[in-house]
Amino acid sequence: MPQAILSVHDKTKLIPFARGLRELGWTLIASGGTARALRENAIPVTLVADFTKSPEILDGRVKTLHPAIHGGILARGSASDLEELQQFDWEPIDLVVVNLYPFEEITAQENVTLADAIENIDIGGVALIRAAAKNFQRVTLLCDPNDYENVLQELREGGVKEATRKNLAVKGFALTSRYDAAIFDYLGDTKTFRIAAYPVQTLRYGENPHQRAALYSLAPGDGALGGRVLQGKELSYNNFLDLDAAWRAVASFANAEDKASIVIVKHLSPCGIASAQNLADAFQHARASDPISAFGGVIASNRAFDADTARALGELFVECIAAPSFTQEAREILAKRKNLRLVEMLNLEIEPRYELRTITRGILKQDVDFGDPPETEWKVVSNRAPTDDELRALNFAWQACQHVKSNAIVFARNFENGVATVGIGGGQPNRVDCVKIAAERAGAKSRGAVMASDAFFPFPDSVELAARAGITAIVHPGGSVRDADSIAAADANNIAMVVTGVRHFRH
């Protein structure tokens, strides 16, 4: 009977995976909290202490560091190795499921003590990973819950493939390498920034045909943006950039009043963003924001892409669609578009939580802008406060403008079943031109709409232009030495104005 040892801090997807192993006849060995979690879910498990006939010691610091465990993992399939195990009444271990104490997460917290950091240096887990990875020709290593289902499927089909075991071993060595580097940096106070990137594919070319390009992932074996390409021709360098921009934007609307959201991006710039009760309506509103720019764009959805939305595309030429999933009927409809790329995303999380940019002889690193800090409080600075409808549209416009290149201006308005952009202006050296572009794109739809600006107004001219376009409410960070002039312009035109105190430049 095959045996697996499970020792995980992160118990994501553990229970269904363990049940799947038991259904296939596996014996499960586990320690501490992992064993408790399995027993609480009525999954039979052998405690490590019973398997090794040796108790945990030093308050759990030593659990799996025992020759019965490591001998079982490191034993090759040779007759001599298996015979040696039998001399000690030990058995081979065929699968190792392990992840590590969250050292980086703990040490990233404010006021973490050295004692806390040291207690979160994993020893046994690292040893298990390295042992299983070294013996990948016989043993399967799982150190990422996202790999559980694939391995379970291969086991159901007859066994884990050697190529899979090797890839998982590489993933394990990559994890321990990063883990040790993080410990070194913390204890050595080096502030060294390290990044490991793993080749995914060579691209046909970069932004232009004369530029070479390749895609790398931050985890071994990851696909496009951590997701899976379901159909269509090979993704290009520009496709990846646009998909990333669209996905980051739509992910920020993940909980938009439980509404479905669509973002359409062209050349790294959102040209339409909308949220509605159903996805097809959200798409129609997003497309209407700038139907000319939507042609040849990239679409991202924060909900399963369904048949109604697939039909709503009509004759619109679309390069790529990214979504958490695609319904079977939608896939059948979209399959007729042979060149259309469909990318099924892993989840709505944006990782890593930092951004890098190369500059001449250097790298810039910053946190991802996930929107306003929790403590942000909006302040009404005009004579008139926004109505509830205006406030709803202002919230949406403010969120949308954070994904537009500075200087960012977004016009938005409520519709019967949702809210959407009606005009977007960005990427210009001055804010006035961006207001003009947004107003031109919106046309008559700007009358009764609201406006968001990613930064303050240095002069009242942008507010005056917005008033002429029919804008009724404005949100911006505030903080200009001439804020009073902009407020006066708003009051003169009966515009409600709100300041957030938070800027959202995006260069």
Q: Which residues contact 208 (CB under 8 A, 6 or more apart)?
A: none
In 252-306, which residue ranges form alpha helices assigned H by DSSP? 279-289, 291-294
3-state secondary structure of 446: helix
Residues 321, 341 contacting (CB under 8 angstroms)? yes
Q: What b/e sequence results for 32-54 when a residue is b if at least 16 CB atoms lie within 10 Å of its CB, and e otherwise?
A: bebbebbeeeebebebbbebbeb
Catalytic annotation on 338? no
Tokens 């105190």 belong to residue: 501
Both tokens of 464, joined, read 């005056």
Residues 322, 456 contacting (CB under 8 angstroms)? no
Q: What would the DSSP string read from start to end of 56-68?
A: -BTTTTBSS-SHH
**Closest by CA position to 330, among listed 300, 305, 312:** 305
Residue 507: C-alpha distances to residues 193, 269, 400, 470 (Å):
23, 11, 15, 28
Residues 261, 301 contacting (CB under 8 angstroms)? yes
Tokens 């493939």 belong to residue: 161
3-state secondary structure of 131: helix
Both tokens of 344, joined, read 């099924």
Residue 64, CA atoms < 13 Å, CB-side half-sphere: 29
Measure the CA–CA gap between 371 and 400, rounded to whole angstroms.
Answer: 10
Measure the CA–CA gap between 220 and 456, rounded to whole angstroms.
Answer: 43
Phi, psi for 169 (deg, rounded to 5): -65, -45
Catalytic annotation on 134? yes
Phi, psi for 297 (deg, rounded to 5): -90, -175
Give all strands (DSSP E) within 254-393, no chain letters. 260-266, 269-276, 297-301, 318-323, 341-344, 354-359, 362-367, 379-380
DSSP strand pairing (297-301 vs 260-266): antiparallel
Active-site residue (options: 134, 210, 436, 504): 134
Measure the CA–CA gap between 284 and 440, rounded to whole angstroms.
Answer: 19
Residues 421, 415 contacting (CB under 8 angstroms)? no
Active-site residue (options: 9, 11, 267, 436): 267
3-state secondary structure of 485: helix
* Catalytic site positions: 134, 267
